[in-house]
Amino acid sequence: MTEHIVQEVPVVQLTQGPKFHFFGYYEKFPWDVTGRYLLALEVDFINRSPDPDDIARICLIDTEDGNSIRVLAETRTWNWQQGCMLQWLGSAPDRMIIYNDRDGDQFVSKVMDVVTGETRVLSRPV
């Protein structure tokens, strides 16, 4: 019989109301490679499905600055399960993110440098 060692890991609340914070999709990882920054979506409601014009704010949580929240952008292309496919981008996983949005009626993806705010639009969603 094998012994299993259970290590307790503390649970820490990073955000507070009145707004709601979440991160979607099971295959995406919200933490940057340094472990300092966490991506999240912020919305004003949680009791219904989003409408096409409901906004989710894309946020960066700094765990070394009292869990401060900086709003980076907004998106109108999101849902509860998948979010907006927000994720760190492998080319610079400590500062580049990609997420889905809309440009008029077209679904696009946006690549943003979280340090400078510089953003470029790609013609297809991720």
- Give the tens place of pLDDT for each residue, 1-15: 667 788 888 888 899
Of the listed ranges 45-49, 52-56, 82-86, 92-96, the least confidently predicted one is 92-96
**Could you give the C-alpha distances from 10 to 26, 34, 44, 54, 69, in angstroms and in order?**
21, 19, 28, 34, 21
Question: 67 pLDDT band (50/70/90 cuts)?
Answer: very high
Q: For residue 79, tell me if it sits in a domain.
A: yes
pTM, entire model: 0.88
Q: For residue 45, tell me if it sits in a domain.
A: yes
Q: For residue 46, tell me if it sits in a domain.
A: yes
Q: For residue 15, tell me if it sits in a domain.
A: no
pLDDT of residue 121: 97
How many structural domains comprise the chain? Answer: 1
Q: Respond yes or no on whether the N-terminal peptide bond of residue 52 is cis (omega within 30° of 0).
A: no
CA 104 vs. chain centroid, Å, equals 22
Question: 75 pLDDT band (50/70/90 cuts)?
Answer: very high
Question: 93 pLDDT band (50/70/90 cuts)?
Answer: confident
pLDDT in tens, 26-44: 889 999 999 999 999 999 9
Show the tokens assigned to 10: 């503390």
Range of the domain at 27: 20-122
Q: For residue 41, tell me if it sits in a domain.
A: yes
